[in-house]
Structure 1
Amino acid sequence: MPKDTELFSIQGNALSSILKVYDKTEESLAEDVLNLKDWMKGQHHLPEILDDKRVQNFLILNKCNVEKAKKKYRQLLQFPKSENIFSSTEGYVQLYIINTVPYVSTLLAVFKTLVKPKLFARVHVCNDANILKEHFPLEMLPRDYGGTEKSVDELHELCELKLQEYQDRFDLLDKLRVNESLRPAILENENDEFLGYHGNFRKLNID
């Protein structure tokens, strides 16, 4: 059994890189965190207000977009529990299929006609695992695939340990539901790009 439960090491400049991608600064991100928390406090039908760290992580998962984060947070708590929808919370950027069998090409040809080009462009078929080294740093690849990261079995075990570590949290999330009787009245033009949702007022600087 692994001696620690750390899945992956996170580089110290990870946050700076993320902020650069979304054209944000640490100051503007902190302001967005406060804005989102203030919005949550005004939504009395929501069962939980996240702490600053979780709000920040949630914002990053939603591309540092406050309005998108509001929509997603409401949806996560509003929709009835559905295993098909919520069994996976990860967003997938690329899908790599390795060591394929001959009929996979036929299946992909059919798949291509059913999905948008942008989505199909994320699917990559590799005849062997060596091509992964062209797309991922060695420190991210498991040893099974020629990298320097822990083996697939070790990572799988670490994932299970990490999930067990947060079991109480998962049990709580399963029970969280919105209280519709406390939901604020719907704005006449709730999707207005200037007014946005209830409790959303941004600072306007005028020279």
Structure 2
Amino acid sequence: MTQLVLASASPARLQTLRNAGIEPVVIVSGVDESQLDGLPPAELALQLAELKCAAVANRADVPSGALVLGCDSVLDLDGVALGKPGDPEEAVRRWQDMRGRSGVLRTGHSLRDTATGRVAAATASTTVHFADVTDEEVAAYVATGEPLVVAGAFTVDGLGGAFVTGIEGDHHNVVGVSLPLVRDLVAELGRSWTELWAPR
């Protein structure tokens, strides 16, 4: 078995990996996500993922020979990268802009093999269609606090799921980590996805 290190504090990413049979070690990167403001959404997501991966990969508490995975997600709405809203007012404005429309959830993935130093990286993109929610639904949703802690101010696997009418692409990517893409990156590094599975 090869140990996977998740360089992210996201509980949704952790749960997605656990559901796929992987029990990662979580080491939060502490990267300042605001340092790359102004980049196009796909590039921003990938560069933040690479920074998070690099920040964790050389730490002493990373298990020997582990694969380190950094991820970052943004919602691409009309070419603008939307991360976590700064406050409830911004979350309300976001939903007023998003409702009845579609955006593209872009998640950058950077995977480093600490045994070889090799890195494989790519961005996964999934189109998300939003319901034409009412002002009352927006206010109630924002009041739960959920939209304040997630990229794009929505979830597909939580309270926000009822406000997403459909997706085109990988569902897991919208949650925060594209399992098929990570499998491809693992293979690119000459490793096997199934060697990441925790013993049963």
Scaled by the length of structure 1, the TM-score of the pair is 0.22
Q: Which has the higher contact order (CA 8 A, sep 6+)?
A: 1
Q: Which has the higher helix share?
A: 1
Normalised TM-score (structure 2): 0.22
| Rg comparison, structure with higher value | 1
